[in-house]
Structure 1
Amino acid sequence: MLNLQAIRKERPEWLEQRKITMEGAVNGMYTKQVLAVSHRWDSPDHPDPSGKQLMVLRDFLREEANESFQLVFVDFCCMPQGDRSDTEDVEFGLMLPNVNLVYLGASVLILLDRSYLSRFWTQFEAWLSFMAPSPTGLVSESRAACKRYSIRLVHGAPEKLRESILEEWGQCTVLSAHLKLSSPDVSVTNQRDKDQQLPKILQLDVAIRDHALNSGVGHDLLTSRSMSGHDCDDGGWRARALAAESEVEKLNRLLAQRQPVQVKASNLCGGSKILSAALKRRARAHPPLAQV
């Protein structure tokens, strides 16, 4: 496995530069074509001196189900390493604060070993891969219709580790993730990385909700996210969004008829952003008839 500087010198044709955006990550633009690898470095200077991780990655890409992937993101190969030039320092400084978008928007291959669940970066990346955007922010994979992650065991890791990572992070909320990753027993090589990335957890959640609201989208956002995903089914998201929208339509009819408002609170809570957007659009078009 070569680092980025070596690839630029010896195999520049291997590289393709892409801009990863919040909009693209939310809308599932990268899940079919881009695979991000989440792995623990086996040594401080090289993530895979034995080449075992690379072999697992190679075999994964050769599987028929994964033929759609055209680009692979590996931190060692895609971000400047070691002694960096001034230009590379600037490049690295732009990439590191935003690398979370890669693991939020791309499909993710988790190379799981015994030490994976003790490291900050690997756990953060795994949690992001278990998350999916919704009008209410980040939701866990158990509530999402789109599964973006795959897990492969390395270095003789036991099968039970697969259960452990799913139990630890598969249904972890935004606040719980922030609390867990803030713990001092979650180790990181560079403490500044942890200090920089922890606020991103809460910021991402807010940014995704704002994106859904400002775009004026409800189930359209969720549908595009699911339909663009790798091996996804959008039924669950569509059902929740349509339920919320039906309550919005019912509310509009009652307001127009000046009748008492009675709608299902559960649907309004589940689609609060959709409701807010609809009410704002209606307020601009019609004078208020009642207070809700």
Structure 2
Amino acid sequence: MSLNILVLYYTQSGQLKQILDNMLSPLEGKARIDFVSYKPVDDFPFPWTSDQFFDAMPECVKEISVPLQPFTIPDIPYDLVILGYQPWFLSPSVPTTSFLQSSQAAALKGKPVITVVGSRNMWLNAQERVKGALNRIGARHVGNIVLADTNHNLISLFTIIRWTFTGQKEAGRFLPEAGVQTKDINASGRFGNIIYNNALSGGYDRLQPELLEAGAVSLKPTLIVLEKRGITNFRKFATYIREKGERGNPERMSRVRLFKRLLLTGIFVLSPVSGLTAKLESLFKKKSFKRQLDYFRGVKFQQDVI
């Protein structure tokens, strides 16, 4: 049996495509794999300027779509769809939101879909939003794989800032490489073998458990607490900024810059305290966090979990 696999993705830096290529490399010669990239008509820059980056937050968090460049999904009966995406501001990237809200997302209806997330370290809210969109489309979400930056939180903050605003992903004199580590990208082929075997059988009940056994999702309880706090504040600030207009409106830049200052202060000054309180909360509510860990590592969808 020959498998037809559709891979949909958006990438600025190329890292996500590298992840997908490595992950699916064991399927070369065994399946037809069609890679389809979607991009906004007015694409986002990379590297970013500071103002451009933080000005993208409100529409990202509010899940406001933008027009996409024309792209074609081949008209063939796909056995499996893989959706690769990146979280921005604890939410799906604007291009991914735009695709999921487009008419072409109907190609996912009735199809088994595996999500592949390339992230720094927080991806829960973004994944819940994507799961909700897949549910509305009528897709079958059968698997999730998360590749994240495994460096210490503050170190990864410095490296992602360097990468975002200068384009330097490579390690420097004092800091390691930014983003998902090369060794983790190179090792992602193990997931491809699991995907292939499950797709070949046509049944996906064992897919996510097998992916988890192979290390597809690593999640710390403290990140659940921190992300829930973070997205609550982002939503409030997104509303506040949009009161002054749409993305690119100069009248809202003072509020965008206020958000940037408060965010950086929270990260570099308050982060150790927030991390400690989150750790304590997770210790005192072990049963609750066990249930949450099981949920977020799986593919079931419930409304308003985060």
Normalised to the residue count of structure 1, the TM-score between the two structures is 0.25
TM-score by length of structure 2 reads: 0.24
